[in-house]
Amino acid sequence: MSSTVDKDLEIIELKRVLEELREKTSRAELTEQRLRDARSKVDAQIEQFTRIHRCAMEAFAAGGGAEVYSLAAEGVLDIFQVEMGAVFSVNVFDNQLLLESQCNLKEPREVLPLPPDWLKEQELWKFPRRQAAFESPAQSPMWLEIGLAQVLFAPLFNNEKRLTGLLVGGISREGERFYDFNPREILSSFMVFAQQMNAIVNNLAALERARVNAEAKNRFLANLSHEIRTPMNAIIGMVQLARHSDDLAEIKDFVNQIDLSSNHLLGLLNDVLDLSKIEEGKLTLAEEDFNLKAIMDNLINSVAANALAKRQDLRIDYHDLLEFDLKGDALKLSQVILNLLSNAIKFTPEKGWIRLDIDPVNREGERIFLKFEVNDSGIGLSLDFLERAFTPFEQADSGISRKYGGTGLGLAISQHIVELMGGRIHVENRPEGGARFYFYVWFDLADQAPQLKTEAEANGPDLDGLRALIVDDVDINRSIAAAFLKRVGVGSEQAADGQEALDKFLAAGPGHYDFILMDMQMPVMDGISATRAIRASGRDDAAEVVILAMTANVFKEDVQEVMSAGMNGYIAKPIKNEVFLSTIRQALAR
């Protein structure tokens, strides 16, 4: 009996051990299967990234962006085993996708509309972290329009971090049942592929821009030399003629020609300085209330004489715009519009027409989205130049420079200003002839309507009977300032450096000088040091006397240094009489 029980227990134990062995074997087989699956996935990923690397190397050796886009579209099929691959460029403001390259796209369309919900303000997309996204099933009208049932897409950005396009892979409605497609599984590697293709396109574009810019700079220096020498020749020639003339009317005509040539030279200098500030990232925007209609009407009036001389029809249309009191940089906006209008007048023949259209596109609360557009019936632009119109130093061709003049900086500066305002500027030829430039910008509405000053307020106080101290190490600069002041009844004394100015101020009684004009760069003591010494002198009028910088240093940091030193403002050289006197009056009024 005992033996039978022992055998039964032994059998039970053997069964238990056998069950444990079976369980362990099952676990081992499951683990082995998981390892095989994991290895299979790793091998698939290795193969996928090998293909990505191979495609990237081919793209790196490509000749340009179009070839890279073609390789990218084909690579989507080869690497991710989908039915269709394509690259679209993005036109945000016209709400369109433009087909750049495609492979197996069933119904190729050159233009697709963007869904409204994709767009935020201007270029803020629903890719805040620049991640790939998918639609499975496809929901957006643009994908449905080309017959896609499932789609995977990744954003493309340029070197300025602006959205420029989409890399797309997808499955059609007809082919869906033949594909085992799970977009989630390839989302991250698809993004890696998109970033690699994007980086290669940007690097090729940067290299090409560097090459083109180098060539353009050489042409620019030759053009600049011509542009400088032409007005300089006029100035020197008119001076020589004036010296040998006793005819007052003739001399006045010579002086007017000198004035025109000098202003042309100043415009060239300002363009070069603006570009320098842009390249150094020092160009900034002001934030002030202004009346758009007043600014634009004045702008039209300022170029009307040039249009009238060519018997051109120049008009401005505000369309349905009702809000004119805005907040922003009116001066920079005017600079852009003035450049576009001046070019339109220059390149439009006699009896042609120029239109400035300002159109309210959208309104959100206390903000308004405006479209500015300049059209003309002029000579238009060559197809080649359309692609590089906003490149610094570029002009359509050497013949344009010889016939019309210019350095090729205006449009580049205008583009940077518009981008600084958060917009983008576009150019195209009009089908009927001529050119069309347009850009979009958001403006905040002004807190209150800008107050128009009376003539007395604008001019400031009367200067007759006041006394000034003119500080400059260049004799002719002191003489010019003294002559301007003498015409409005201001007496003046002069100092050749900051130390002499400080000595004269301390030697004179309190209130002897009503204001001081201070040059910045001088021997012995510069203008900043002299101003600080005057302010710290302890004299009764040391804190109140108006001190204005009279300087050729007009960058933002120079102005900040002037103000931090205790000055009341600055007058930029070369001095213009109206601006010179207006600045003095405004400083005294404050």
Q: Is the pLDDT of residue 504 over 90?
A: yes
CA distances from 511 to 162, 469, 541, 589 (A): 57, 12, 6, 16
Last residue of a domain, one of 179, 208, 237: 208
Q: Flag whether 217 is in a domain.
A: no
Residues contacting residue 293 through CB under 8 Å, at least 6 positions apart: 318, 324
- The residue with tokens 């401005």 is 316
Q: Which amino acid is at 283?
A: L
Domain harbouring 147, CATH code: 3.30.450.40
Q: Is the pLDDT of residue 374 over 90?
A: yes
353: enclosing H helix or E strand: strand 353-364
Asked if 202 and 249 sit in the same domain, the reply is: no
Asked if 81 and 49 sit in the same domain, the reply is: no
pTM: 0.50
Domain harbouring 244, CATH code: 1.10.287
Asked if 134 and 231 sit in the same domain, the reply is: no
Q: Is the pLDDT of residue 455 over 60?
A: no
What is the residue range of 24's domain? 1-59
Asked if 379 and 404 sit in the same domain, the reply is: yes
Q: Which amino acid is at 284?
A: T
3-state secondary structure of 336: helix
Last residue of a domain, one of 422, 445, 468: 445
Q: Specify the pLDDT at position 466.
A: 93
Q: Flag whether 218 is in a domain.
A: no
Q: Is the pLDDT of residue 92 over 80?
A: no
Q: Specify the pLDDT at position 505.
A: 92
Structure tokens at 362: 């959208």
> What is the per-residue pLDDT across 19-31, written as a single tens digit (0 to 9) for each?
888 888 888 778 7
Degrees (nearest 5) of the Cα angle 537, 466, 478? 75
Asked if 248 and 116 sit in the same domain, the reply is: no
Cα distance between residue 573 and residue 554, in whole Å:
9
Domain harbouring 298, CATH code: 3.30.565.10
Q: Flag whether 141 is in a domain.
A: yes
293: enclosing H helix or E strand: helix 292-309
Cα distance between residue 397 and residue 400, in whole Å:
5
Q: Specify the pLDDT at position 399.
A: 47
Structure tokens at 111: 């233009």
Q: Specify the pLDDT at position 44.
A: 65
**Residue 528: CB atoms within 10 Å:** 20
Q: What is the CA radius of gyration of the chain?
A: 35
Degrees (nearest 5) of the Cα angle 54, 68, 80? 50
Q: Is the pLDDT of residue 91 over 80?
A: no
Q: Specify the pLDDT at position 517.
A: 94
Average pLDDT, the chain: 80
Asked if 359 and 464 sit in the same domain, the reply is: no
Q: Specify the pLDDT at position 397.
A: 47
CA contacts within 13 A on the Cβ side of 368? 18
Which carries the bigger pLDDT value, residue 379 or residue 209? 379
Q: Flag whether 215 is in a domain.
A: no
Asked if 376 and 464 sit in the same domain, the reply is: no
51: enclosing H helix or E strand: helix 2-60
Strand partners, 570: 549
3-state secondary structure of 33: helix
Q: What is the dihedral of CA 356, 360, 361, 363, to 10 degrees?
A: 160
Asked if 300 and 403 sit in the same domain, the reply is: yes
One DSSP character per residue, 476-498 reads HHHHHHHHHHHHTT-EEEEESSH
Q: Which amino acid is at 385?
A: F
Report which listed range, 92-96, 385-389, 425-429, is most confident: 425-429
> What is the per-residue pLDDT across 168-201, written as a single tens digit (0 to 9) for each?
998 888 888 888 778 888 888 888 888 888 888 8
Cβ atoms of 575 and 480 within 8 Å: the answer is yes
Q: Flag whether 477 is in a domain.
A: yes
* Backbone torsion region of residue 259, taken as left when φ is above 0, otherwise alpha when ψ lies between -120 and 50, otherwise beta: alpha
Residue closest to 91 by CA, chosen among 164, 189, 196, 170: 164
Cα distance between residue 42 and residue 57, in whole Å:
22
DSSP state of 311: T
Asked if 397 and 364 sit in the same domain, the reply is: yes
Cβ atoms of 326 and 296 within 8 Å: the answer is no
Q: Flag whether 452 is in a domain.
A: no
Confidence of residue 447 (pLDDT cuts 50, 70, 90): confident
Asked if 253 and 321 sit in the same domain, the reply is: no
Residues contacting residue 130 through CB under 8 Å, at least 6 positions apart: 155, 157
Q: Flag whether 450 is in a domain.
A: no
Domain harbouring 468, CATH code: 3.40.50.2300
**Residue 375: CB atoms within 10 Å:** 19
β-strand pairing of 546-551 with 569-572: parallel
Q: Specify the pLDDT at position 553.
A: 64
